Structure 1
């Protein structure tokens, strides 16, 4: 499959939007799975090839090709077995010096290894060894197909963070707590304490009851411009490297409830509904624009990305070309992958 060439010769796959993800897989159906994820998220694909049992060309061959391909910005691969581990590692290491590579491996358990042997004849590698090799060569290893696609989509749509410090901005306290747990569990990300000068800046935009801590709980004190204003101040601070924004879509979800009521659109309710939907669209656009202006990743997460993809918030995130993650945990997982690859490049003088 090649969107630059307008070609789709995989009979079970949808034709995805064009973009920068290029796929190599030892399973044709996983090519289809990745293309389905591309279609639903709007994050596009450049090329996709099923290598099958790799009798002639293997996953590493296609990844090397993608590294030389102007349309490809990240490699995404499903592998089951590796016949020459050192050669595979050396070749993928050369690719990760030039572009991110996300790997999801089948046959990582005894049960999966037996299934892989009957599927492609693959001899499964020791999983702990494979995991360690991925870290050494700068490849991002994902546990699931969903995680793999979201990692690749994050690489292709977000800037790399300059450091580990994450600030969570949330419109509800509970979501912030869960996000703080996820960041703290990550091996490398840091839930940074808010420095006094940043607290003073944010004080000007929030009511006195706000958390004055990370997560930044807006305390229900949002006015028309609070979210764009606070996002911009957080991202502009020198110590903040990444932001996780939780709560997008709440106003548009309220608008959906009002639309279903018996009094809509009379009694001014139509105007209220329009305002709420415009607000969430503005907030999603602001997350993209502030990220682009500051060069810092800003990831948005809400279950409405899955529960109601037509909600103005998630819909606008997709329109900006980025991923709206279905939960804070998924966003933190993607951000962790983004940071570790950024650090890999810096340690090797490649950033």
Structure 2
């Protein structure tokens, strides 16, 4: 299936406090508030999608009584779309797969030369001087926490584009692919579907996508509260934010602006409860990468609703027997130097 070609994305990152206007949007109608959790999530999704406009492709699933994720929203969930920076989850998966096989290590160092630096989102281009030696763990963290574009090129140096696609195919993904270019170590971020991204996230949370240690490493980055906060996690406490692993992607193409977000929510018991993969394209407000973009505002309202209506799922004992572990991270504590 053909998808529009576009340039690399530039992301607007940052945490935004809740406003009274946003809080009001969360309430919905009295009739909507009386609906059970999945129906409330569906109603909120449909309402916010209509407000934001564009064309949405979405898969949201919550854990049922047997501990298995059951669809809550399936809105053109098999549509093949440009994933933009959400695809960095797939790229990181390929790198960690080679680490699991002993072909790389997180502590392995590469130089950071000036000719590899990309602008847009991230931190490395802000250095203004380059030449550091950095670990694979360093650039994977930058790629997932602040969506660094240079880090994608660093990944390509250790896992070429063709190999990334081979790894993803071996894991059962049919449409989640990077787009190779003439240089075998570089690529555009390529395509995915909401359903395949749900599958990747669920397997990551249940420690079946990679080794348990590698899954924990990636989840620790994507759940950390210094990451992306403008969308799903915007109107949440620090504790709630730490229970959401998320990845955002933004760009534009011939259809208009694209604003995507995909992630997984954990309960207070540390068990995965809900996945979301929302891909919106053909949007307006092309150059707005901030929290006021209509689709990003929609993500915030949907995110708050999902957190408020997380499914209870299976009893903890049976879920632990199936997934192997609960996923907890240390609560955020400020440090005043010293």
Please report the TM-score for the alignment, with normalisation by the length of structure 1: 0.24
1 or 2 for the larger relative contact order (CA 8 Å, sep ≥6)?
Answer: 2
Q: TM-score, normalised to structure 2's length?
A: 0.25
- Greater Rg over alpha carbons, structure: 1
Higher strand residue share: 2
